[in-house]
Amino acid sequence: MDYDTFIGIDVDKKSFSFTVKDHYNMNRSKKIPSEPKIFYQYIKKHFSNDRVLCAYEAGPTGFGLYDYLKSKQQPCLVVSPLSIPKAINERVKNNRLDSMKIAEDLRSGQLKSIRVPEDSYRELRHLISLRENYANNRKSAKQRIKSLLLYTELHRHFKNKEENWSNSYLKKLKELPCSAAERQRLDMLLMDLEYARNQTLYILRQIRQFIQEHEEINKNMGYLQSLPGIGFITAATVLGRIGNPADLKSCREIGAFLGLVPREKSTGEVINQGAITQLGNRYLRSMLVEAAWTAIRADTQLGQFYHRIKLRHHPKIAAKKAIVAVARKLTQRIYRVLKEQRMYIVH
Per residue in 195-242, pLDDT tens? 999 999 999 999 999 999 999 999 999 999 999 999 999 999 999 999
8 Å CB contact between 11 and 68: no
* Mean local confidence (pLDDT), 90-101: 87
Of 54-58, 108-112, 170-174, where does the model show the most confidence?
54-58
* Residue 345 burial (10 A CB sphere; 0-12, 13-18, 19+): exposed
Give me the chain's average pLDDT, please: 90
Domain coordinates of the chain in residue numbers? 5-108, 119-213, 219-339
Query: What pLDDT is recorded for position 265?
Result: 63
Query: Rounded to whole angstroms, how far apart are CA atoms 231 and 215?
Result: 18
Residue 161: pLDDT band by 50, 70, 90 thresholds?
Answer: low
Query: What pLDDT is recorded for position 92?
Result: 78
pLDDT at 268 over 70: no
Query: What pLDDT is recorded for position 264?
Result: 61
pLDDT at 93 over 90: no
pTM of the complete model: 0.86
Residue 21: pLDDT band by 50, 70, 90 thresholds?
Answer: very high
What does each C-alpha distance from 306 to 235, 296, 323 come to in angstroms?
A: 22, 7, 6
* Mean local confidence (pLDDT), 286-296: 94
* Mean local confidence (pLDDT), 89-114: 89
CATH class of the domain whose range is 5-108: alpha beta
Query: Rounded to whole angstroms, how far apart are CA atoms 30 and 266?
Result: 42
- Grouping H, G, I as helix, E, B as strand and the rest as coil, residue 82 is helix
Query: Rounded to whole angstroms, how far apart are CA atoms 299 and 346?
Result: 6
- 73: region left, alpha or beta (phi > 0 left; psi from -120 to 50 alpha): left
Query: What pLDDT is recorded for position 75?
Result: 95
8 Å CB contact between 277 and 262: yes
* Residue 313 burial (10 A CB sphere; 0-12, 13-18, 19+): middle
What is the gyration radius of the CA atoms in the chain, in angstroms?
25
Residue 305 Cα to chain centre, angstroms: 27
Residue 263: pLDDT band by 50, 70, 90 thresholds?
Answer: low
The number of residues making up the chain comes to: 347
Q: Which long-range contacts (CB under 8 A, 24 or more apart) does 197-202 make?
A: 197/138, 199/134, 199/137, 200/131, 200/134, 200/135, 200/138
Query: What pLDDT is recorded for position 271?
Result: 58
* Mean local confidence (pLDDT), 257-278: 68
Per residue in 335-346, pLDDT tens? 999 999 999 987
* Mean local confidence (pLDDT), 166-191: 92
Query: Rounded to whole angstroms, how far apart are CA atoms 309 and 123?
Result: 39
pLDDT at 188 over 90: yes
